[in-house]
Structure 1
Amino acid sequence: MTSSLLLRQANFRRLLLANFFSGVGDWFNSVAVLSLLLEITGTAMAVGITLALRTLPYLVFGPLGGMLADRFNRKAVMVACDLVRAVIALCFLFVSSADDVWIVYAGTFALVAFSALYNPARISLIPDVVERDQLLSANALEESVFGIVMAAGSLVGGVFAAYWGTDAAFVCNSLSFLLSAALILRISLPPRSSGVRREADKEERKANEPSYRDLFSLIRQTPLVLYTLLMTTLWPIGGGILNVLISVYAYQVFAAGKSGVGLLYGAIGLGFIVGGVAADLLKRRPYHMASCSLAVEGFAHVLTSFAPTIYLAAACYALSTVAGGMGNASLRTLLMRHLDNAYHGRVFALESTISSVLIGLSMLVGGWLLTVFEPRLLGFAAGLLITLCSLILGVLIWQASRTADSAAPAQPD
């Protein structure tokens, strides 16, 4: 299998492991922060504000992260961001009452700001360490690792926070960034320039470096890329509300507390693991997955709103992320295949910036809407919105893919 071959490649394996360890720590932090907020404030609004602050910094730092990924050493960018995040992660240790909630907001904003600088470099590094015909398998593994991270980080993090306290979870998060930095340092890549030509090459790259204006022009001229980006950026309109509902379902609908939060996030993580495996098995059909999977994800969220128990709700969440994992892997692969590598840092920064800002606003609005509407009604509406948007854009991606395939030679899978 392609996946097993990829895992034998040291550079890609280290990239995955760095993502795994920092991700597990981040989920320890997420479960601890959300649980702490609900305990010291008792309101869903605080959760909505915090979740919004985990995405809104992308508006400023996302585009900057894309430029850094395309212009500078990507390893250096990633290591620097990890070291800074290791320090910031410790600030949550100073939160003890509702008067300290501003520390949660400030620390969350700072962590996300450096994550926004980090992520475009990490994603752009994937085509540099794997072959073109391995891209979908690499992205499928990324989704599976994301699922493992979520399942391990949230489920274990919930138990960890319950027994050893939130402070221990925050310390683990800080240590995870240090471990990630050590792994990234071991990734060996050929230098972009060397010797006496280093400065000349640097100036030449800067002069020929594509701008965001060039990228926008290319997107307008490439329908498949346009529809793919629309799919990845419109989902958060409903997805942000659904993210807020996870903790609210656990605490207020099913009265399951911290263990309920861990259970739901664990189910979501399990779904991403299965979705990544399924995407790898169906790697010869990326257009099929891109066209259908996110609509299935939205419908699964509609079913979640009717779940009578937290266990059935967890099963629906797992189903939604099986489809979501397949969709994410296929959509990212389509962007990598149909855009030149020179644009990768900026296009993934653009995608994450738009989607993160939308999901942040959606979470903020979702926190407010929960003071007016019942959680189940809000979950039904958000799931229906995702389903309808995904169906429409799925048809457009399917049509654009047929045109792209007829205009270009087939690529090996």
Structure 2
Amino acid sequence: MTTKRTRARARARTWPVVRVLRDREAGLYLAGVVVSGFGTSALWLASGVWVKELTGSDGLAALCLLALWAPTLAGPLLGTLADRFRRKPLLIGVNLSLGALLLTLLTVGSARDLWLLYAVLFVYGAAGVVHDAAESALVAAAVGPSLLGDFNGLRMTASEGVKLVAPLAGAGLCAAYGGPSVALLDAVTFVLAAGLYAALRVHEEKPERPANGWRERTAEGARHLRRCPRLRSLVLAGGATMMCAGVNGALIYAVVEGLGHSPAYAGVLYAVQGAGSVVVGLASGPGLRRLGTHRFAACGIAVTAVAVALRAVPSDPLALVCSAAIGAGLPCVLIAALTAVQRETPGPLLGRAVATANTLMFAPNVLGLAVGAALVAPVGHRTLLAVLGALWLLTVVPLLHSPASASRAVSRSPSDANPA
């Protein structure tokens, strides 16, 4: 009997799923992430399909992603809210507000109403910046220290796993019942997520009133990242990667058309890409420990660059393989960078540091989306993909020349496998 109990305890320590789900707060928190993530993943793809069906324009469809990503430019400023207010009430308020906002999209029925769709997506993106910063900061209070590493790794895997079904569900629902049905689905998921966050039993002290001005508080996150060379190099590599990812994302509907499919087929490619991300999420811990953060990031970038270039070949099987490779390679530099930021940032500064790092990494995606949307028609997606893959591969060089000792120092802890 003792042996069986010992083995059971060992299995619980071995499998992160068991450890997290046995903890009430961790389970509720993870459920909130999955529910809201499902609605978001369904909407961001369905919005492009929606616009494509209303206008027939690849460029206007790509602008949906541009509207969602544009608010990351104000990340350092928006991130101050996550450190200024208690995180739990802030998350509940953001989720309920987004649920109400999405109901306005039920009135969009023609190309003349697209301004409302773009406006809602822009506000959606701004609220998402605040939400992500507050969520990263609250998790340390909601989840016990012994479960924090396991939770963060499982959270990333669950978020990517949602993309296996949510894009397909969103695209299919949009094709069958129209874009407003997807907006309604997303609104419901936000209300459910707010309820799950409200059920959390977490004590938060009210943040002290800051002594310095908002400009000084906004700049503190950037100063912290600039002072740490390891964080700086990884965040810059993440920014370069996401700029290239933006160009690639703007070409997705042209790629689908080149394969001879309807716009909804983009959901299939994104679902396969999500499968690749799930795999790398589970393997990121051993990868970081074996390679170090810089080499782990470099390997992921190299895989992604080659896969993007091969997308220029009009082949369905190859397109699916490339999507899986992109899903596996793209998150690597983001995992490495965000893990390092979490480990080397003080708690009271974490909201601003995360928001600033997200801006530096994800804001270039806005530029990439704009460039891709502008060039897809005059240049052609196949030429752009080949050139993009070659340029993307060049971003590996600075990471390979980073000091090996720095990479190993960041990757020694088992918590490296679990980015916030």
| Interval of TM-score (by shorter of Structure 1 and Structure 2) | 0.7 to 0.9
1:312 counterpart (312, 315, 318): 318
Structure 1 residues 195-221: Cα deviation after superposition (integer angstroms, max 9, x where no partner): xxxxxx724x65699834444333333
TM-aligned CA distance change 1:379 to 1:143, over 3 Å? farther
TM-aligned CA distance change 1:54 to 1:85, over 3 Å? same
CA distance in 1, matches of 2:180, 2:390: 38
Report the counterpart of residue 111 of structure 2 in structure 1. Answer: 98
Report the counterpart of residue 240 of structure 1 in structure 2. Answer: 246
Report the counterpart of residue 133 of structure 2 in structure 1. Answer: 120
- 1:40-189 equivalence runs, <5 A: 40-60=54-74, 62-130=75-143, 137-189=150-202
Q: Deviation of residue 313 (structure 1)?
A: 0.8
CA distance in 2, matches of 1:86, 1:350: 26
Structure 1 residues 334-355: Cα deviation after superposition (integer angstroms, max 9, x where no partner): 1111222222111111122233
Structure 1 residues 271-319: Cα deviation after superposition (integer angstroms, max 9, x where no partner): 111111111444534524234222322222222223x323321221111
Q: After superposing the two structures, state which structure 1 stretch, 131-140 or 109-118, moved more.
A: 131-140
AA aligned opposite 2:316: I
- 1:258-297 equivalence runs, <5 A: 258-282=263-287, 284-285=289-290, 286-287=292-293, 288-297=295-304
TM-aligned CA distance change 1:256 to 1:397, over 3 Å? farther
Report the counterpart of residue 50 of structure 2 in structure 1. Answer: 36
AA aligned opposite 2:141: D
Segments of structure 1 that go 5 or more residues without pairing to the other structure are 194-200
Q: After superposing the two structures, state which structure 1 stretch, 72-81 or 316-325, moved more.
A: 316-325
Report the counterpart of residue 362 of structure 1 in structure 2. Answer: 368
TM-score, length-scaled by structure 1: 0.88
Report the counterpart of residue 387 of structure 1 in structure 2. Answer: 393
Q: Secondary structure at the match of 2:201?
A: coil
TM-aligned CA distance change 1:207 to 1:57, over 3 Å? closer
Q: Deviation of residue 401 (structure 1)?
A: 2.6
Report the counterpart of residue 302 of structure 1 in structure 2. Answer: 309
AA aligned opposite 1:370: V
AA aligned opposite 1:160: L
Report the counterpart of residue 325 of structure 1 in structure 2. Answer: 331
Segments of structure 2 that go 5 or more residues without pairing to the other structure are 1-13, 416-420
Q: Deviation of residue 48 (structure 1)?
A: 2.8
TM-aligned CA distance change 1:213 to 1:327, over 3 Å? closer
CA distance in 2, matches of 1:262, 1:130: 34
Q: Secondary structure at the match of 1:371?
A: helix
TM-aligned CA distance change 1:57 to 1:232, over 3 Å? same
In the alignment, structure 1 residue 255 sits paired with structure 2 residue 254: no
Q: Secondary structure at the match of 1:202?
A: coil
Q: Deviation of residue 320 (structure 1)?
A: 1.6
Q: Deviation of residue 124 (structure 1)?
A: 2.1
CA distance in 2, matches of 1:65, 1:78: 14
Q: Deviation of residue 19 (structure 1)?
A: 1.6
1:352 counterpart (350, 355, 358): 358
AA aligned opposite 1:378: L
Alpha-carbon contact 1:143-1:275 (below 8 Å) kept: no
What number of residue pairs does the alignment pair up?
398
2:342 counterpart (336, 344, 354): 336
State percent identity of aligned pairs: 25
AA aligned opposite 1:298: A
CA distance in 2, matches of 1:329, 1:130: 20
2:225 counterpart (219, 222, 242): 219
Report the counterpart of residue 5 of structure 2 in structure 1. Answer: none
TM-aligned CA distance change 1:305 to 1:146, over 3 Å? farther
Alpha-carbon contact 1:41-1:98 (below 8 Å) kept: yes
Report the counterpart of residue 12 of structure 1 in structure 2. Answer: 26
The CA RMSD over aligned residues, in Å, is 2.6
1:21 counterpart (6, 13, 35): 35
Q: After superposing the two structures, state which structure 1 stretch, 32-41 or 393-402, moved more.
A: 393-402
CA distance in 2, matches of 1:226, 1:118: 24
AA aligned opposite 1:314: L
Q: Deviation of residue 16 (structure 1)?
A: 2.0
